[in-house]
Amino acid sequence: MSLVGLVALWGLLIFFKEQLSFTWQVICFIVLVVFTIYGIIIANRAFFGVEKKK
């Protein structure tokens, strides 16, 4: 997922927070945190050539 997409999804979560139930807020937050961490890992591999050690 692109950085722009992540920023847009975080913005939507913040903007529509009051309209979502607590359960959906927690689910969306966890999913976005996981996608953000995954995106950071992919960006580090792409820009810095980090590879898995054998």
Scanning 1-54, the segments in alpha helix (DSSP H) are 3-15, 22-48
CB 9 within 8 A of CB 31: no
- Cβ atoms 46, 16 nearer than 8 A: no
CA dihedral 30, 13, 5, 52 (to 10 degrees): -10
Domain ranges of the chain: 3-48
Residue 51 confidence (pLDDT): 65
State the Cα–Cα distance between residues 20 and 50, nearest whole angstrom. Answer: 38
Q: What is the per-residue pLDDT for 1?
A: 52
Q: Could you tell me the mean pLDDT of each successive run of 10 residues in the chain, 54 residues long?
A: 75 83 86 84 75 64
